[in-house]
Amino acid sequence: MLIRPEKPEDYPAIHSVNTSAFETPAEADLVEVLRKETQPVISLVAEVEDQIVGHILFSPVTLPGFEYLKIMGLAPMAVKPGHQNQGIGSALVRQGLEACRRAGFGAVVVLGHTWFYPRFGFIPSMKYGIRSEYDVPEDAFMVVELTLGTLKGVTGVIKFHPAFNNV
């Protein structure tokens, strides 16, 4: 398995991975909008035998009142159904978090499975007094500090790119 940054020629395969992994094409469409409208974006693919079978995207989010903070949102992350439960998603998350750290981001938020993301250091964001702008279960909206102390004394509501309203 190879994890690498996406290239423009990967876009159709990335769209296919996201449409196959989710019930609707909303996440695939979200990737395309975020790629065009946000910067920086960290977008990685997983290849197995020269086929793209997984994808992860990180895009900037904001915490009003603390605009100086560099925080990324992880969404979406997808692995083709025939390749799930083989460690591909975990490898994408690990390498994606490291790419965010190298890019100077201090934290990452995710709305995700409570049985999956804690293994990468994610904890419920409410432990920091941080909430999602969306009505989601508190334990499913999580955060990981990439730089210790980034979120010390910080509270509020994370704001996502408006394209997330369509997912």
Helices 26-37, 11-21: axis angle to 10 degrees equals 140
167 has pLDDT over 90: no
Condensed to tens digits (0 to 9), the pLDDT of residues 51-104 reads 999 999 999 999 999 999 999 999 999 999 999 999 999 999 999 999 999 999
Using an 8 Å Cβ cutoff, are 128 and 155 in contact?
Answer: yes
Condensed to tens digits (0 to 9), the pLDDT of residues 121-159 reads 999 999 999 999 999 999 999 999 999 999 999 999 999
Condensed to tens digits (0 to 9), the pLDDT of residues 4-33 reads 999 999 999 999 999 999 999 999 999 999
Instruction: Delineate the domains of the chain, giving CATH numbers in brackets.
Output: 2-166 (3.40.630.30)
Summary mean pLDDT of the chain = 97
Residue found by looking up tokens 């009505």 in the block: 135
166 has pLDDT over 90: no
In the chain, count H helices and then E strands. 3, 9
pTM, to two decimals: 0.96
45 has pLDDT over 90: yes
Alpha helices in the chain (DSSP H): 11-21, 26-37, 88-102
